[in-house]
Amino acid sequence: MKVAIVGAGKLGMKVAEALLGGDHSVTIIDTNEAWTEKINSILDVMTVTANAKEIKVLKQIDISSYDFLVATTGDDEVNIVVSAFAKKLGCSKVIARVRDPEHMQQIDFIKDLMGIDYIVNPDLGITVEIYKYLAEKYTLSNGIFSSGLASLLEFYVTKLPEIIGMSMRDISSLMPNMLVIAISRSGKVIIPHGDTCIEEDDIIYVIGEKEPILKLAEKVHEKGKYTDLQKVMIIGGGKTGFYLARMLAEFGAAVKIIEKSKDRCHYLSTHLDDVMILHGDATDLSLLEEENLDGMDAVVTATGFDEDNLLLALTAKQHKVEDVIAKVSKTSYVEIISAMGIDMALNPLDITTNDIIRYVQSSRTVVSSQLIQGQAEIVEVIATSHMKIIDEPLKNLNLPDTFLVAAIHRGNKLIIPNGDTIIREDDRVIIISLISDLKVTEKLLKDNGRFSFLRK
């Protein structure tokens, strides 16, 4: 497919890298010549140094021949206008990044009026994942997600203590016909492989047929535990804080936002109902203690600075807050996060890139309705003769550590794979991968028009 990306910032670059992994033809348009020259030296893309708001620029690249235009600049209005122009000039599908809450309140009207096919909002995207972690885990009846013959169960390993310390190779004897496909450990999602061992504080995700999963759920699910999310502190009243406060207040939680900017506090207080807005610097520990940090059920750090978010999250954890979530944009902090004991760290860049790629590959079906803690994705594909992962034992494929074949539907059978399993043409294959390494997944599943993804 031909894809034009307007805006050579972090999101535009991340999307381009993922698309190139899938063998798509990519054109990047940006007004900054230094950026486009740098991109030319590191990526195999066509670059255009120009203002995409000018219709002549879109005509020069023959935008009508493109399958997608993705507008990812830092300006909502530019993204909306460029997308609308591209659509009018014949581009098949257009995607715009839009972040402003005022725009989001009338987004359906904007989409219809401007002919925009899809809107991505990094702040709303990360908010949804935080909300699912905080609110839905408190209301989920049994922790089970199902698709076709396969079911997925999540639980704390302390509910099955006999598996603590066991490796993936040994665990099958205690959980026959099931497979551990992901581990959440200290805020980081891990794709396990043969030598990976279960640790005491892990949360694990197990896939298998429905009946064995239901029987396991009866043993490990803690009934009635998640019923009482009452007090949430959000540090940072930016767009993420705004969206999250509104959603959690509607859920019924008592929400408190701490925000440095007096003007932003005024905005929040006039646009949010049933949310306490506090003007202050959350890095002042005495302020947090005065605002009953110890009594919070959850703390979310969502300032515009990764370092502040990590420091404040660590502070909350040291005060024994049960659920602590940090918004972190720098991938270089991943290892630091896992060593800090934070419950979950989310990268809006990864989540938004995944959202865009999933829409571009719109025939892809996500097995569960959510990512695993905003860090991993489950997809189901039809194996064809053109895929690199068929007709060879899985142990011979040299698959990356961020990628795992979780289950295979073959006819009316569900196969839980091991190293000797071979994927055959027309199998329905359930795969889990880390969204931080999306370009690797796209390369393994690249679509050159020679096979099609499963439609829901």
- Supply φ then ψ for residue 439, to 5 degrees: -65, -30
Which residue did the predictor score with more confidence, 206 or 145?
Answer: 206
Condensed to tens digits (0 to 9), the pLDDT of residues 424-442 reads 888 888 888 888 887 777 7
Condensed to tens digits (0 to 9), the pLDDT of residues 8-26 reads 999 999 999 888 877 789 9
Which residue did the predictor score with more confidence, 260 or 176?
Answer: 260
pTM here is 0.80
Residue 363 has pLDDT above 90, yes or no: no
Pairing of strands 413-415, 376-382: unpaired
pLDDT of residue 141: 47
2's enclosing H/E stretch is strand 2-6
Confidence band (pLDDT; 50, 70, 90) for 199?
very high
Rounded Cα gap, residues 313 and 302, in angstroms: 10
Percent over 70 (pLDDT), the chain: 91
Residue 106: strand, helix, or coil = coil
pLDDT of residue 275: 95
pLDDT of residue 354: 87
Percent over 90 (pLDDT), the chain: 50
pLDDT of residue 192: 92
| pLDDT, mean of residues 109-124 | 94
Residue 456 has pLDDT above 70, yes or no: no
CA nearest 284: which of 272, 275, 293? Answer: 293
Sheet holding 188-190, edge to edge: 144-147, 150-156, 203-209, 178-185, 188-190
Which residue did the predictor score with more confidence, 29 or 350?
Answer: 29
pLDDT of residue 119: 96
| pLDDT, mean of residues 190-200 | 90
Which residue did the predictor score with more confidence, 194 or 57?
Answer: 57
Condensed to tens digits (0 to 9), the pLDDT of residues 274-298 reads 999 999 999 999 999 999 999 999 9
Of 72-86, 165-179, 299-313, give the lowest mean pLDDT range.
Answer: 165-179
Rounded Cα gap, residues 80 and 448, in angstroms: 30
Residue 440: strand, helix, or coil = helix
Residue 82's contacts (CB-CB under 8 Å, 6 or more residues apart) are 6, 52, 53, 58, 69, 71, 73, 96
pLDDT of residue 301: 96
- Give the amino acid at 174: L
pLDDT of residue 73: 96
Which residue did the predictor score with more confidence, 67 or 138?
Answer: 67
Of 130-134, 190-194, 378-382, 448-452, give the lowest mean pLDDT range.
Answer: 448-452
Residue 2 has pLDDT above 50, yes or no: yes
Q: What burial class does residue 168 get, using C-beta atoms within 10 Å of its C-beta: 0-12 exposed, 13-18 middle, 19+ buried? A: middle
Contact 449, 377 (CB under 8 A): no
